[in-house]
Amino acid sequence: LTRDKKRAGGVTLEKSAPSFQTRGFSFTTKKTPSLHHGDSLSSTIINERRSGYLMIMNISERNEIIPLLPNADFPDVRIACGERVLVGDDASAYIPNIWENASSGTDHLVAMVSDVPLLSAPLPPLGEALSASAVSELISKLETLDADGWAADIISFTILP
């Protein structure tokens, strides 16, 4: 669903650290970036749409959906139009460090901004995957929103040992 929502005037996710360059959604022309175990996932989210609720997830190499925001400490994160949010960096107001902990495979970092909150309480502790029922609820919410009800961007990367 996220790959289909990338469009102008939505959300942009930029990798901050120089370990790899972000890529666009023209999959046939650009190489998938790489990270090594322990590399930083420091990234900046730029909201180019109207204000809304921010959600950041890591979709692991095992296809687990791990919410980074919202989380138990920040259950309701709003982002204004034009606002930039840094995550995975010491200067972040929300998540100071995000490190790649897988040893191989492909991970996806996803940023979404929506008109309504997409995850319901109770939220899993930071770093734990959503349950199957929570994933199903999330997908159902996304499918019922109007076309302009949310926007997203995704960075996919290969994990190297």
**Which DSSP string corresponds to 86-100?**
EESSTT-SS-S--B-
Tokens 């349950």 appear where? Answer: 131
Cα–Cα distance for residue pair 28/48, rounded to 1 Å:
26
The pair of three-digit structure tokens given for residue 145, joined into one six-digit string: 């929103």
For the stretch 62-106, pLDDT in tens is 888 989 899 888 888 999 999 999 887 788 888 777 766 666 778
The helix/strand/coil state of 112 is: strand
Cis peptide before 70 (omega within 30 of 0): yes
Give the C-alpha separation, 54 to 48, whole Å.
12
Q: ∠ CA(69), CA(146), CA(138), 5° rounding?
A: 35
Q: Could you read off the pLDDT tens digit of each residue along the chain, which spans 161 residues? A: 555 555 556 777 766 643 433 333 222 323 456 766 666 677 888 898 999 999 999 888 888 898 989 988 888 899 999 999 988 778 888 877 776 666 677 888 889 999 999 998 888 887 889 999 999 999 999 889 888 898 888 888 777 77
Number of Cβ within 10 Å of residue 37's Cβ equals: 13
> Rounded to an integer, what distance in angstroms lies between the CA atom of residue 100 and that of residue 81?
29
Report the amino acid identity of residue 106: T
Tokens 């770093």, residue located: 127
